[in-house]
Amino acid sequence: MPRHISRLLLLFVGAGILALVARWYFTADTFYQFGHFRGKAVGEIAAKEPAYQTARYCEDCHTERHAQWSANNHKSVNCEVCHGAAKGHPENGKLPIPADTRKLCTLCHERMAERPRPQPQIDPAQHSPGQQCIVCHNPHAPKLAGVVAKVAGDAAAGAKTHAARCADCHGAAGVSPNDSWPNLAGQHGAYLVGILAAYKSGAQTDAMMSPIAQGLSDAEIQNLATYYAGLRCEAKPRKSRLGDPAAGKALAKNCAACHGDAGIGGNPAWPNIAGQAPEYLVNSLKAFRAGLRKDPMMAGVVRGLSDTDIANLAAFYSAQNCAPAAKVKETP
Amino acid sequence: MTNPSDPSGKARREFLRRLGGVAVACTGAAACSVAPQSGGPVAGPDPSPVKDYDWTKHHWAFGVDATKCIGCLRCVEACKTENDVPGDAHHFNTWIERYVYLEGETKARIDSHHDPVNIAASGSEKEFRFANRYQDAKVEKAFFVPKLCNQCTHPACVQVCPTGATYKSKDGVVLIDDKYCIGCQYCVQACPYGARYFNPTKGVTQKCYWCYHRITKGLRPACVEACPVGARIFGDRNDKQSPISLFIRNNRVQVLRPESGNEPNVFYVGIDKEVS
C-alpha cells in the first residue's frame, strides 16, 4: 500500500477514535437510558416542591373554617385560590387575607355575556357599589340566606321584656353598668336575634344568658331585638388602662371589613363593638380564642392574637363613639 | 431509540448500522456534532427515573370543559406561582382565550389576558382579569376557552429539538431538560398550538408540563386545583374511573388541530369551529 494512502487511513482511524472518545466524554451518563434525552432530567423535574398544597393541607389547623367552607357554596373554590399558595406556611408567616374583596370576587362574579349562565353574577355598578363584598357575604359561606336574621318585632313589647328581664345587667337604657356585660342600645337587631337564638338553642352557652334566653319565646326575642336596635346608645367612649388604643387601631384594620372602621359595621348580622367596655371586649375575644364562644369567622381572626393584641384592640374599640352622628345606614 | 431490555446483539447491529451512517455523514464535518442515537451507557435496574413513582403505569390526559369556564384566570395565576413563570403578562404556560361573536359579525373577536385592554382592567401585568369590554355591545355568542400544552403523542417540538432537551415521558408528558436546552427556539416555532415560549432570563424554552412535579406525587396540576368551576379535568387514562376517563367516555370530545398529526392529549368539550 502506498505510504500516502496508509497515512490517510491512519488519520481517519485516529479521527474516528478521537470522535468516539469525545462523545463518550461529553455524553451525560443517563443520556439514552430511556431514549434520546438525559434520563436524570425526569427526576430533576419531578423533584420540585409543589407550591399549592391543596385544601387538605389547611384542614388540620383551620378545622372549623374548613368545615364551614366545605359545607357551603364556595367548596369548589380551594383555599389557595384566594389566600395564595401555602408553601412555606405556617413556618414563614401568614397567608394574605384579601383586602380588596370587591376586586377579588368580581373576577368570578362580575356579570359578563361570556360567562356561563349558571355562574352567579352581579352588576358591580348596581350591587352595593363601593361596598366591600365581605361586609354582607361571608366568603366561606357566601349565601346570604340565614346569615342575616329578619327583625320585625314590636319595640314597645320589647321595652317591657327588657325592663323585666334584662335591665338589671344591661342597664335601664341598654348601657350596662357593669364592665363585664355588653351594652345593647343601638346594637344590630339581626345580630341580637342570632345570638339570643343561639343561647336558646344551646349552640352558644353562658351561665347567665342561657337560662334567660331559654325562657324567651321567638316573638319576645324579635321584640327585644327591635327595641334595642332602635335605642340610641348613650355609652361614653372610654379610656382603657389595659392596652394601647393606637396599637389597637393598627390591628383593627383586620376587623374593619365586618365591624366597620370604628366598631360600627354595615352588616346587621355582625355586632357593633364601638364603646363596649374594654373588659367585656377582652373577655369576648379570649372566649373566642379559647373556643368557648364558637364562630368560624372569629375563631380564625383571633387565633393569631396575643393577650397584648387583645388588650390593645379592646382599648381601641372601647374608646370609639357607639352612636356616631351620622349613623351607618343598615342594609336590609 | 434504544430499548435497554433488548438483547444486546440487536443493539450491536443497530450500533454498527448507524456507525456506517455516521462515517458517511462525517465527510461533512458539521454533521459530526449530531450525536448518533445508540451505544450510550446501559440502563440500570431502576425502571423509573422518579423515586416512588412508576412512569410506565400511568397515561395522563387532560380535559377542558369550555361550557363551564368563567374566565376568572385563577388557573393562570396558580400556574405562574407554581411554576416560576416570568411575572409579566406575556409569558405563560396556560392561558384563556375569549371568543365573542357580536351581532352582525361573522368572525369571532378573540382576546386573552395579555390584551392591553385586559392588562389595563387588571391594573398590572402581574394580575390577570378579563375586562368587561363587551358589556354595552350586542353579544350574540361568547365563551372562554382554556388552553395549555397538548402533550401530543407525536410532538413536533420533540422532533425538531437538536439536543434532546425536550422529550416525551413514558407516562405521556412532554418535558424540557433545562440543562440541555440551548434556547434555539426551534420547538417554539414547531408547536402548532403556540404552547411554548422562550424565557429570556433563563435562556431556555418553557411550557406547560402538567405540573409533572405534582402529578408524580399524586397531586393534580395547579390549574386544575385552582379552577373553581371544574372546567379543567385531569387524570390517568389507565384508570377507567378517573375523572379524565369518565370525561372522555361521557362526552363527545374533540382535540385542537387534529389535522396536524400531532395527536394532542387535551380533550375539549364545548368549543366552536373557530377554536384551533
Q: What pLDDT score was predicted for residue B10? A: 62
Report which residue type is found at A7: R
Q: Give the tens place of pLDDT for each residue, A61-72.
A: 999 889 999 999
ipTM over the 0.95 cut-off: no
CA-based nearest residue to B164, from A19, A28, A16, A45: A28
Average per-residue pLDDT for chain B: 88
Q: For residue B41, is pLDDT > 50?
A: no
> Of A11, A34, A44, A79, which to mutate for an interface test with B (greatest number of B Cβ within 10 Å)?
A34
Q: Which three-class secondary structure state does DSSP give residue B142?
A: strand
Query: Is residue A224's pLDDT more than 50?
Result: yes
Percentages helix, strand, coil for chain A, rounded to the nearest 5? 50, 0, 50
Domain A155-230 is in which class? Answer: mainly alpha
Residue of B nearest to A107 (CA): B72
| Structure confidence by residue, pLDDT tens digits, B68-104 | 999 999 999 999 999 989 989 999 999 999 999 999 9
B172 CB-near residues (< 8 Å, 6+ apart): B58, B59, B60, B61, B151, B153, B265
Q: Which residues of A touch B32 (CB under 8 A)?
A: 19
Q: What is the pLDDT of residue A332?
A: 43
What confidence score (pLDDT) does residue B7 get? 47
pLDDT at A22: 95
With contacts defined as CB-CB under 8 Å, which chain A residues touch B82? 50-52, 85
Q: pLDDT value at position B16?
A: 66
Q: Is A38 on the interface with B (CB under 8 A)?
A: yes
Q: Looking at chain B, how many residues does it have?
A: 276
Place of cell 423535574: A45
Q: What is the mean pLDDT of residues A276-302?
A: 86
Looking at per-residue confidence, does B19 or B275 come out higher? B275
DSSP letter (8 states) at residue B97? E
CA B166 to chain centre: 12
Phi/psi of residue B166, each to 5°?
-120, 140
| Least confident span in A36-45, A119-128, B130-139 | A119-128
Record the cell numbers describing residue B179, joined without a space: 440543562
Residues 49-108 of B with CB under 8 A from A: 49-51, 53, 55, 67-74, 78, 81-82, 98, 100
Query: Between these two residues, A132 and A309, which has the higher pLDDT value?
Result: A309
Task: Report DSSP state, residue A110.
Answer: B
pLDDT tops 70 at residue A35 = yes
- Among A200-214, A254-268, A316-330, the least confident range: A316-330
pLDDT grade for A235, boundaries at 50, 70 and 90: confident
What is the model's pTM?
A: 0.70
Residue A145 has a pLDDT of 54
For domain A245-318, the question of CATH label 1.10.760.10 is answered with yes
pLDDT(A329) > 70: no
Q: Does A52 sit within 8 Å of B222, measured CB to CB? A: yes
Residues of A within 8 A of B164 (CB-CB) are 31, 36-38
- State the cell numbers at A104: 377579588
Segments of chain A assigned to CATH 1.10.760.10:
155-230, 245-318
Tell me what the mean pLDDT of segment A275-289 comes to: 92
Q: State yes or no: pLDDT of B150 exceeds 60.
A: yes
Alpha carbon distance A20, A268 (integer Å): 81
Q: Which residues pair with B101 in a beta bridge?
A: B141
Beta-strand relationship, B60-65 and B266-269? parallel
Chain A CB contacts of B4 under 8 Å are 33-34
How does A244-270 read in b/e, with b if 16+ C-beta sit within 10 Å? Answer: ebebbbebbeebebbbbebbbbbbbbb
